[in-house]
Structure formats: C-alpha cells, structure tokens
Amino acid sequence: MKKISNGVKFKSLGHNKTKLPTKPSIKILETFNNQHRDSLYLVPLICNEFTSICPITGQPDFAKFEIVYVPRIKMVESKSLKLYMFSFRNHGEFHEDVTNRIFKDLWKLMDPKFMRIIGDFSVRGGISIKPLVQKFSDGMAEDQHQQILEMLNSWDNTKKTLNP
C-alpha cells in the first residue's frame, strides 16, 4: 500500500503494475475523507472509455459516464473508480442496469449530499440509450438543494465550452 501525506493508504494507487479486476464489485472502490466539509461543491468525474457487453448478444457496448456528486464525509479515490469502471469490460448487463448499479455502489460507499450519473451509451441499431440516475440525500435544507441545482446548471453550461 502506498501512503500519502495525510496518512491515507490506497491499495491501487502507485503500483507499478496494476492488477485489473475481472468482475464488478463495490470492494474495488476506495474512499478518502473530504477535507472541505464546510464547503458545498461539485465533484464531476468523466469516464470516456467505458465498455461492457450486451448480456444477450455478447457484443461490446461503449459509453461515456458522467458522475457528479456533492461530497459529505467520504470521496471516491479516482484510480479505484477507474479500476471499478474497467471491471465491467467483460461483464454482461443492460445499460440501465449498469448505470443504476454504479449509482447504488457509489451512493452506498460515499453517502454524498447529492449524486447524478449519466450513462451516455453509443448508438447501436439506430438507438442511443442515456440512463440518468439522480438523488439528493434525505434531510437536506431546501436552500442547499437550490445551491446544488445552480451548481449543476453552471457545470452543464461549462461543459459546453470545455468540449464543444
């Protein structure tokens, strides 16, 4: 395990040769503590190279995933997320199921104030499927809901200028 300055140890980060997982599991994911709990902020994570397989035909499915969350106490470590997302490569699951599974695993892991996941799957057979799952944590103040919605709107508008 590699130790970083604040004492957190990660299993995946810093290894010369990374062992790639062969099946999805929440156990692949790792967290660290949010150092800015007094701030309300978005953490957007973009996975441009997601692949899985169709559970019926075995054909590959390609997608871009956008994960946006507002942390509470825990945050997901990005390399463990990369390995988790990679673990779907040879796994057969429908687009909607994959998107909901990723959402549920990350929600359970972090218990964020808010999270939105969009699975932007490539066109197959003339149809593109783009599942979206979103949730606010229970007991949040209405003003925080509004602030988060404003930040999401800002992020969505900013994306247009980052990747026209």
What CATH number should be reported for the domain holding residue 93? 3.30.1130.10
Residue 38 neighbours by CB distance under 10 Å: 6
* Candidate list 47, 61, 105, 120, residue with the active-site label: 61
Does 12 reside within a domain?
no
In which domain, by residue range, is 90 found? 23-162
Domain count, the chain: 1
Q: What is the pLDDT of residue 6?
A: 64
Q: What is the pLDDT of residue 14?
A: 63
Does 93 reside within a domain?
yes
Does 14 reside within a domain?
no
| Two tokens, residue 47 | 């996975």
| Two tokens, residue 57 | 């035909």
Q: Which amino acid is at 40?
A: L
Distances from the Cα of 132 to the Cαs of 4, 28, 45, 95, 96, in angstroms?
34, 23, 15, 10, 8
Q: What is the pLDDT of residue 7?
A: 67
User: Tokens 């701030």 sit at which residue?
Assistant: 39
Over residues 138-142, the mean pLDDT reads 90
Map 17-60 to HEC letters.
Answer: CCCCCCCCCHHHCCEEECCCCCCCCCEEEEEEEEEEECCCCCCE
16 pLDDT band, cuts 50/70/90, is: low
User: Tokens 């156990």 sit at which residue?
Assistant: 27
Q: What is the pLDDT of residue 129?
A: 95
Q: What is the pLDDT of residue 97?
A: 96
54 pLDDT band, cuts 50/70/90, is: very high
Collect all residues with Cβ–Cβ distance below 8 Å to 77 and sequence separation of at least 6: 10, 12, 13, 29, 30, 31, 32
**Model pLDDT for residues 91-136, shown as the tens digit of each residue:** 999 999 999 999 999 999 999 999 999 999 999 889 999 999 999 9
Does 6 reside within a domain?
no
pTM for the predicted model, two decimal places: 0.87
Longest alpha-carbon distance in the chain? 50
Is 47 known to be catalytic?
A: no
Q: What is the pLDDT of residue 9?
A: 72
* Candidate list 54, 111, 143, 156, residue with the active-site label: 54
Collect all residues with Cβ–Cβ distance below 8 Å to 49 and sequence separation of at least 6: none
